Structure formats: structure tokens, C-alpha cells
């Protein structure tokens, strides 16, 4: 634990037990006054020692003897036994992390802790850049809290949480939340609290990006999905044959829509959560509201012999096993199909490429793209 963390915890403990300390002080002060008036001929130094029971006055009466009896018990049992024991214990890490965040100055504030923001935080830690993080889900930031990093657990739209992250003193704010409504609310609140900091917001829709760029907000908006599409368009250019797209989010829908615009290509979108997409659906785009974990799920709706490309776009970490399994089966049974798998961790690339599949949309690549867009004095600008 760093020295600053230790002193913050001591400070918090002192605040928590201020009534006990006040009682302790008043008991000692009452004893000091008692000896001051009952031993008028002695110096203040001797009276102070009497109040600490280091020395005893000559001919002490019963009340003085009672004080001399009680004071050591209070000192040993209450002060050393209870209070000091509590001070030496680790304080609630959630509260400590919030206090640490509030003490940051000229720092980065990261709102939302997903794949891209995880890269931002890792870069800050590795390069000793000051930051604070706001995340609503405690389980996502447990590791950061346990090692004493400045984290605020709570709703980022709440003004108190933004204040704890000390947005007012931040030089940059990165908003990487999926929910557009929350991202807009956070941007507006951040700008009201700090009219000078740079604000970077992940947003997909063009009209949302335009709104965020308006003079009152002056935020830089970017889309990791559009960055990923740059590479995907290279893979799909001048391709023929039908395609399968599996996933649920905007990037998945954009891939399916763009493929369906290519001449003489049929596209089958497997999305078990939505019955539509953000784009105008044409007759070559077929939306199937079912899960597609196994080849049998695909064969029910698609002739795999006519498929030339398959995009597996799940983004939940819990579904990577299913992605890998489906990739292996497609490679084994239908080697003519080009398979593209969406992943976020570079450590998983080797597993996917073992089955002759390509990977895209890694958080590392998105972070590198973001580094190209930030200001030269940004904390995450490549050193």
C-alpha cells in the first residue's frame, strides 16, 4: 500500500471514531483541571504528568485515586486495544478508492470500464499518468480497487460521483459507455463542471456525433465500430457468395448491412435479441432471431455450401468458447468458408488463427486508433 493510501485510511479512521477521541480528550482534560485546582502549588508540567498518571500527587484524595485507577484502563483497553487496532486495519477499499479519486489533479477521468477503457487505464498505470475511473459495476473494477487505484463505483450520471472523480480538475475525460443516453448526459454534466478539459466520447450514430461536437459541448466523438469496418471492407471487397453474420450490436448490424449492398450476395444475420437493425433492410438481408452456437443452428436456415464468408461478432467474454467452437467446426467441415472472429484480447489471437480464421475489432487496435486522434499533449498520446 502506498504512503498516501495509508494516510488517507488513517484520516478516515479518525473521522469515524471522532466521538471516542472526543470522550477520551474530555476525560483527560477533566483530570487535568481537577489536578490544576486541587494542586495549586505545583507547576503545569507536574499537573500534566498527574493527568497522565505518570506521577501521583502527595496525599491524593479518593477522587484522584479513582482517576489514577480508571485512566490506565481506558488508555490500555479502549485506546491501544480498540482504537489503535482499528487504525491498523485496512479500511473499506471502496471508500479509500473514492477518496483517492477525489484527490487527483490535472488527470484523466475514464467513465465506463470496458475493453477500450481498460486499455486506457492500463496505459495510465504503465506510464504513471494520473487518472480516476467511474464504473457502475463493482465486479468489473475489483482488481483495481484491491490494489488501491482511484476508482468511484456508482452511476456516472450522478453529479456526486463526477465530483468524487474530480472532473472539475481533470484535463481529459474519456467516455466509453455503450449507452448513448448515458454518454450524452455525462458529456453535458462534465462540460458544465469543467469548460476547459478535452472530452472524448465513443458514439456510433452520425447525428449523435454531430450533437456532441456542437460548440456548447465541444467533445470529440469517435466510433470504434467504424474503425473496425475499415479493415472489414478490405476483406469483403469484390467477394462473391453468400455470407453469415452472427452477433447483436451495432457493428454486427453494420457488417450485415454493408455485405447486403454488394451485388448478388445474400446475407443471413443471426441475432437472438433484435428483430431489426438501424439500417434500411433490403431483400438480400435476412434477419434470423435465433442463437447460432452450433452448425446445426446454421444449417436449419442456410445452405453452408453456398456460404463463402462468416463473421462471428459476439462481444460477451462468456461467449468466446462458443465462438472458438463454431470457428473450429466451420474450419473442419467447410474449409472453403472464410471465418472472421471478433475478439478483444490479443492473447486470444493465436487460438483463433489456429483454425485459419482472421480476428478483428481488438481493443488494442481501437486504442491505437484513439491515440492517433487525441491532442499532442494528451496523457495517452504515444510517448
Range with the largest mean pLDDT of 167-171, 341-345, 379-383: 167-171
CATH no., domain 93-222: 3.40.50.720
Longest CA–CA separation in the chain, Å? 111
Q: Taking 60 as the threshold, does the pLDDT of residue 294 lie above it? A: yes
pTM of the model: 0.69
Q: So where are the chain's domains?
A: 3-88, 93-222, 226-362
CATH no., domain 226-362: 3.40.50.720
Cα 258 from Cα 253, distance rounded (Å)? 9
With 0-12 / 13-18 / 19 or more C-beta atoms within 10 angstroms meaning exposed / middle / buried, residue 17 is middle
pLDDT in tens, 178-197: 889 999 999 999 999 999 99
User: What's the mean pLDDT in 8-13?
Assistant: 63
Does 226-362 match 93-222 at the fold level? yes
Q: Taking 80 as the threshold, does the pLDDT of residue 92 lie above it? A: no
User: What's the mean pLDDT in 19-33?
Assistant: 84
Mean pLDDT of the chain: 88
Q: Taking 70 as the threshold, does the pLDDT of residue 346 lie above it? A: yes
Q: Taking 80 as the threshold, does the pLDDT of residue 20 lie above it? A: no
Q: Taking 50 as the threshold, does the pLDDT of residue 165 lie above it? A: yes
pLDDT at position 1 is 46
pLDDT in tens, 29-76: 998 998 888 888 888 888 888 888 888 887 778 888 888 888 887 777
pLDDT at position 257 is 93
pLDDT at position 89 is 54
pLDDT at position 11 is 67
pLDDT at position 105 is 93
Q: Taking 60 as the threshold, does the pLDDT of residue 17 lie above it? A: yes
- Packing angle of the helix pair 206-213, 180-193 (nearest 10 deg): 10
User: What's the mean pLDDT in 121-126?
Assistant: 95
Amino acid at each position: 500500500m502506498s504512503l498516501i493510501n495509508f494516510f488517507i485510511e488513517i484520516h478516515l479512521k479518525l473521522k469515524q471514531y471522532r466521538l471516542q477521541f472526543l470522550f477520551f480528550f474530555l476525560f483527560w482534560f477533566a483530570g487535568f483541571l481537577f489536578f490544576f485546582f486541587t494542586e495549586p502549588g505545583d507547576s503545569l508540567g507536574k499537573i500534566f504528568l498527574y493527568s497522565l498518571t505518570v506521577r501521583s500527587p502527595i496525599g491524593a484524595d479518593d477522587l484522584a485515586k479513582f482517576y489514577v485507577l480508571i485512566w490506565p484502563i481506558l488508555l490500555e483497553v479502549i485506546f491501544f486495544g480498540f482504537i489503535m487496532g482499528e487504525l491498523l486495519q485496512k479500511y473499506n477499499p471502496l471508500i479509500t478508492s473514492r477518496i483517492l479519486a477525489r484527490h487527483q489533479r490535472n488527470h484523466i477521468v475514464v467513465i465506463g470500464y470496458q475493453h477500450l477503457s481498460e486499455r486506457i487505464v492500463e496505459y495510465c498505470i504503465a506510464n504513471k499518468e494520473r487518472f480516476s475511473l467511474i464504473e457502475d459495476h463493482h465486479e468489473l473494477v475489483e482488481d483495481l480497487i484491491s490494489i488501491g487505484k482511484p476508482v468511484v463505483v456508482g452511476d456516472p450520471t450522478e453529479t456526486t460521483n463526477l465530483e468524487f472523480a474530480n472532473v472539475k480538475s481533470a484535463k481529459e475525460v474519456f467516455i466509453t459507455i455503450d449507452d448513448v443516453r448515458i454518454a450524452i448526459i455525462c458529456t453535458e454534466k462534465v462540460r458544465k463542471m469543467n469548460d476547459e478539459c478535452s472530452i472524448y466520447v465513443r458514439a456510433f450514430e452520425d447525428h449523435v456525433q454531430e450533437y456532441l461536437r456542437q460548440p456548447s459541448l465541444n467533445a470529440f466523438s469517435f466510433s470504434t465500430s467504424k474503425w473496425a469496418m475499415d479493415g472489414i471492407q478490405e476483406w469483403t471487397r469484390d467477394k462473391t457468395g453468400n455470407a453469415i453474420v452472427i452477433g447483436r450490436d451495432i457493428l454486427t448490424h453494420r457488417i450485415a448491412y454493408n455485405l447486403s449492398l454488394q451485388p448478388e450476395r445474400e446475407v443471413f444475420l443471426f441475432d437472438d435479441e433484435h428483430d431489426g437493425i438501424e439500417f434500411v433492410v433490403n431483400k438480400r438481408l435476412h434477419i434470423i432471431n435465433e442463437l447460432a452456437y452450433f452448425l446445426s443452428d446454421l444449417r436449419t436456415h442456410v445452405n453452408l455450401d453456398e456460404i463463402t464468408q462468416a463473421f462471428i461478432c459476439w462481444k460477451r467474454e462468456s461467449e468466446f468458447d462458443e465462438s472458438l467452437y463454431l470457428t473450429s467446426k466451420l474450419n473442419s467441415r467447410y474449409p472453403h468458408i472464410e471465418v472472421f472472429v471478433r475478439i478483444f484480447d490479443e492473447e486470444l489471437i493465436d487460438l483463433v488463427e489456429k483454425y485459419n480464421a482472421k480476428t478483428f475489432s481488438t481493443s488494442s487496435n481501437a486504442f491505437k486508433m484513439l491515440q492517433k486522434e487525441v491532442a499532442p499533449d494528451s496523457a495517452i498520446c504515444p510517448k
